[in-house]
A and B are shown apart, each in its own frame.
Chain A
Amino acid sequence: MTHDDLATLLRDDLSRTEPLGLPDVAVPLAAGRARVRRRRAVSATLAAGALAVAGALAAPLLGADHDGDGSTGRVIDPAERSLASYDPQQMPLTLEQRARAVLERSVASLGPGDVHVGDGQGDRLAPKDYDKASGMSVSFGSDEHEWSVSLDHAKSEAEGSAREYCATGLADGSYLECTVDTDAHGYVVISKLWAMRPMGTRPNDRLGFMVVPADRLDRVRPDRLYFERSVKVVKSASLVTYAQERVHAPTGEAAEAAFVVPVADLVELGADPALVIPEPPVDDSGCGPWTQDPGVSYSC
């Protein structure tokens, strides 16, 4: 048996099961574009010196597009008051309690909440570093039926036209539904429904979820389909809140029947002015949000 023999055996082994189709280049292109936009936005924000917390919470950038220019103008933000008394150690508890209070109107046994406080790379932080968090989330339930609320500083997700955001997602099939509204605080509220599947195929081998576009729903086994109702509330130039309910369901109709939390409650959670975190500090390179991993560096 030579090197070539083993190579041939390996190739024969792969050829027996290898899928015929090519993976879609649109997937890394779309994700790559979004990451590039985000990096540019972070750099632009930092270069502009827009680091003042209260200032950052003053003017939503992602407009509902009432007049087509993508801006709703400055609003008096009640979240500013919450930031004035912000306690990084207390906020995870506040998030869990306020999410629970709303969700338990519809969910009888919510169970314990899993709170995650993350750095600029999404890695979990120890409590001593909570004051430098880029994001915070709480989730309840299980993979079969999950509810979550998250707060994230991500300028790329806050900027731009909300109507265009929906229109683009609906056009490429990423969203099955998407609507835009503005709440009483002046926050932009986006409600969407999308389908997803776990990465890979092995059970209990979850790395995360991949979006299933509308025109490919029939290519995924029904038992691998999940649907998520997601409410996105833009609270500032960079702070975005998501309130979500995800169900394991074979069809969109079955998912609609399985959702138990009214969209109005998700909106209430997303727009809760008490749920805020200040913009994270800059990392040593001066080009990105702080991260605890010394191996991570950003380029401006």
Chain B
Amino acid sequence: MRQSRREREFTDFYAGSVVTLRRTAYVVVRDWDLAEDLVQQALTKLYVAWPRVQMPTRMAYARRTVVNECLSHVRRHRPETPTAELPDRPLERDEAAPDLTAALLVLPARQRAIVALRFLDDLPVTEVAAALGVAEGTVKSQTSRALETLRRHLPELALTAGDL
């Protein structure tokens, strides 16, 4: 079937961004299948908005929509209880490696989103704030709290605010 310009551009954008977006979503919802579903929902919204979203801002728009979908999902499914449930896939974890998965589960969803955007997507505070629709000060304070929690659960990591 012949594709329209919108579909061609969207398909190209999708191929280049979907893995990154799925990783971001996964850090928030901690379930690969759910992350994929939420990314697909978010990218459906991007497809609809495509003519209105300028090329330089498409990734930011997509990221913001993905994070919003994830946080909305978590909100709708409260209480979010950190659990020790088995992961979806068997892990072959290096027992010597820090258990970041368990530590991340302890963080509230919004802090996981901040960790994903700051440390996985490597975004500056200003862009994280824009993606989440919060003040830069909130990003900084939430980052600090997230790191405190990670430090408590991962004592082998000497995380300091100064380092970060």
Contact = CB atoms under 8 A, between A and B. Distances in A.
Interface of A: 1-3, 5-7, 9-14, 16-19, 22-23, 25, 27-29, 31-33, 35-36, 39, 199-202, 205, 207, 210, 299
Secondary structure class of chain B's binding surface, majority of residues:
helix
Interface string B117-133: 00110100000000000
Contact of A13 (B18, B100, B157): B100
Given A9-B98, A23-B39, A202-B34, A32 B164 contact: no
A25 B26 contact: no
Interface in B141-164: 157-160, 163-164
A12 B98 CA distance: 11
A10 B40 contact: no
Pick from B10, B41, B101 the residue with the most CB of A within 10 Å: B41
A19 B39 CA distance: 14
Interface in B23-45: 23, 26-27, 29, 31-34, 36-41, 43-44
Contacts of A9: 98, 100, 157
A18 B97 contact: no
B109 to A, nearest CB: 13
Given A10-B119, A199-B34, A1 B160 contact: yes
Interface residues of B, number: 54
A3 B163 CA distance: 7
Interface of B: 7, 10-11, 14-15, 18-19, 22-23, 26-27, 29, 31-34, 36-41, 43-44, 46-48, 52, 73, 76-77, 85, 87-89, 91-93, 97-98, 100-101, 104, 115-116, 119-120, 122, 157-160, 163-164
22 contacts: A1-B159, A6-B157, A6-B164, A9-B98, A10-B100, A10-B116, A16-B92, A17-B32, A18-B23, A19-B32, A22-B15, A25-B15, A28-B47, A32-B46, A36-B47, A200-B29, A200-B31, A200-B34, A201-B33, A202-B31, A207-B77, A210-B37
Given A9-B98, A205-B34, A14 B23 contact: yes
Nearest to A201: B33
A173 to B, nearest CB: 16
